[in-house]
Amino acid sequence: MLRLLTAGESHGPVLTAIVEGFPAGVVVDKEAIDAQLRRRQSTYGRGGRMKIERDCVEILSGVRKGITLGSPITLQIRNRDWENWIEVMSPDPEQIVEEKETAKAVTRPRPGHADLAGGMKYRQQDLRNVLERASARETAVRVAAGTLGRLLLDSLGCWIFSHVVQIGSAAAPAYGPDVDYTDLAEAAARSPVGCADGRAAAAMMAEIDAAREREDTLGGVFEVVCIGLPPGIGSYVHWDRRLDARLAAAVMGIPSVKGVEIGLGFRGAGIEGSGYHDPIYYADGRGFFRKTNNAGGLEGGVTNGEPLVLRAAVKPIPTLGKPLASVDIGTKRETAAAVERSDVCIVPAAAVVAEAMVAWVLADAVIEKFGGDTLEEIRRGWKEYLAYLESI
Ligand SMILES: Cc1cc2nc3c(=O)[nH]c(=O)nc-3n(C[C@H](O)[C@H](O)[C@H](O)COP(=O)(O)O)c2cc1C
Ligand SMILES: C=C(O[C@@H]1CC(C(=O)O)=C[C@@H](OP(=O)(O)O)[C@H]1O)C(=O)O
């Protein structure tokens, strides 16, 4: 079983992840992790913080000579912004300078962020003590950890990509069952908003520009696809072992994700069974296959050999330049919510985080099926299982 723990505040010195249960023998290319970190940072619609940070991973344990050892892996990303926050955020009270503007207590909770609910939960009068950890800054180190899962899947011939299908009211056209996923992935990778359709991408960017101008924010929808998984990954035998449940939890755990669907998901709720389910075919040399993929590659919590397709709805960013009504938690007077430097739209960035989390869950499920202390054992089990599938 894979385990992941992260630590770190948004404006603290570092973000750390400890990964446990990762097999030995996986080649870890630091540059592959850094490339994913850059993708998360560089999407259209982000704010001033991303001009400060240059995320790159430091690997502090569990890897020797570029290869995993089977021991816990420690990953670290430094916050460059820490320099500007030492006198506000230091764990050492001697270093704190109360007179600094940013050291003032945050008392005007932003609707949509964790500020008020978190402040009540942890009995805080300064909501900075909440927002520092509630911040999605932490998703950087999730991307680093998830990329380990991606490297494991890569070595088995599986690949994962994402594309943005909606931002605000701008939406990409629907694609059919004969879609070329390689083309879709390449076009999405070239787009600053991660959208494969050029015209829709331009409309999305225009909506982001207009929202920025109005000092407002936008949400949207992204899709993650994994190709190359054999049938039989995941389980139907218990609620918490179903792969759909595990994927939904991992993607829902990304701040601002408010809905997750597999295959047609909500869009399929009004369709009759005869139009929804994917008829089963068989051909020599190909085995069992489908001509449609409304199930999104999952039936009964188990992969069915078709591409795994997951979508998520992302709410608009809570920090608004023209803030909504709020109440000061000290005075209890009506006031405008706090305004901070902020992103305008993070749908493309959330898609990168979701790829990493999907990779993490799938790597975990692959390890579960094929066992293993080592990549070699997983590979052997994988090959033997594919041979079995070919034989039936
Ligand atoms: C990559 C990323 C960047 C984000 N940047 C901001 C931001 O700059 N300002 C903000 O208010 N919220 C931002 N958010 C959203 C908040 O973190 C999120 O709305 C908040 O944690 C509450 O989300 P929840 O209700 O889904 O838990 C960001 C989210 C992600 C995934
Ligand atoms: C730092 C990141 O995202 C941050 C997530 C975030 C929030 O409230 O979630 C608020 C902003 O932080 P700041 O207040 O420092 O500008 C974002 O920049 C990141 O994604 O690396």
| pLDDT at residue 340, as a whole number | 87
- With beta carbons less than 8 A apart as the criterion, state whether 309 and 225 touch: yes
**Per-residue pLDDT averaged across 155-176, rounded?**
97
Q: Residue 86's Cα: distance from chain center in Å? A: 29
Q: State which ligand 2 atom lies nearest to the alpha carbon of 140.
A: 21
- CB of 49 shorter than 6 A to ligand 2: yes
| pLDDT at residue 358, as a whole number | 99
| pLDDT at residue 295, as a whole number | 98
Mutate which of 342, 346, 353 for ligand 2? The one with the most ligand atoms within 8 Å of its CB, which is 342
| pLDDT at residue 371, as a whole number | 87
- CB of 135 shorter than 6 A to ligand 2: yes
Which residue's CA is the nearest one to ligand 1's atom 20? 113
Superfamily of domain 3-391, CATH level 4: Chorismate synthase AroC (3.60.150.10)
HEC string of the chain equals: CCEEEEECCCCCCEEEEEEECCCECCECCHHHHHHHHHHHHCCCCCCCHHHHCCCCEEEEECEECCEECCCCEEEEEECHHHHHCHHHHCCCHHHCCCCCHHHCCCCCCCCCCCHHHHHHHCCCCCCHHHHHHHCHHHHHHHHHHHHHHHHHHHCCCCEEEEEEEEECCEECCCCCCCCCHHHHHHHHHHCCCCCCCHHHHHHHHHHHHHHHHCCCCECEEEEEEEECCCCCCECCCCHHHCHHHHHHHHHHCCCCEEEEEECCHHHHCCCCHHHHCCCEEEECCCEEEECCCCCCCEECCEECCCCEEEEEEECCCCCCCCCCEEECCCCCCEEECCCCCCCCECHHHHHHHHHHHHHHHHHHHHHHHHCCCEHHHHHHHHHHHHHHHHHC
- CB of 319 shorter than 6 A to ligand 1: yes
| pLDDT at residue 177, as a whole number | 87
Residue 208 pLDDT > 90 = yes
**pLDDT, the chain, mean:** 97
**Per-residue pLDDT averaged across 48-73, rounded?**
97
Question: pLDDT for 314-344, tens place per residue?
Answer: 999 999 999 999 999 999 999 999 998 999 9
- CB of 314 shorter than 6 A to ligand 1: no
Which residue's CA is the nearest one to ligand 1's atom 3? 136
- CB of 313 shorter than 6 A to ligand 1: no
Question: pLDDT for 276-326, tens place per residue?
Answer: 999 999 999 889 999 999 999 999 999 999 999 999 999 999 999 999 999
Q: State which ligand 2 atom lies nearest to the alpha carbon of 134.
A: 9
d(CA 313, CA 142): 19
| pLDDT at residue 32, as a whole number | 98
Question: What is the bridge-based pairing of β-strands 302-303 and 3-7?
Answer: unpaired
- The band of 372, judged by pLDDT with boundaries at 50, 70 and 90, is confident
ipTM rounded to 2 decimals: 0.98
| pLDDT at residue 62, as a whole number | 98
- CB of 343 shorter than 6 A to ligand 1: yes
- CB of 136 shorter than 6 A to ligand 2: yes
- 329 annotated ligand-binding residue: no
Q: Residue 135's Cα: distance from chain center in Å? A: 14
Burial of 321 (0-12, 13-18, 19+ CB in 10 A): middle
d(CA 354, CA 149): 12
What's the gap in Å between 110 CA and the centre of ligand 1? Answer: 11
- Whole-prediction pTM value? 0.98
Residue 42 pLDDT > 90 = yes
Which residues lie closer than 8 Å to 387 by C-beta, 6 or more apart? none
| φ and ψ at residue 199, rounded to 5 degrees | -65, -45
- 317 annotated ligand-binding residue: yes
> What torsion do the CA atoms of 249, 254, 259, 263 make, to the nearest 10 degrees?
-70
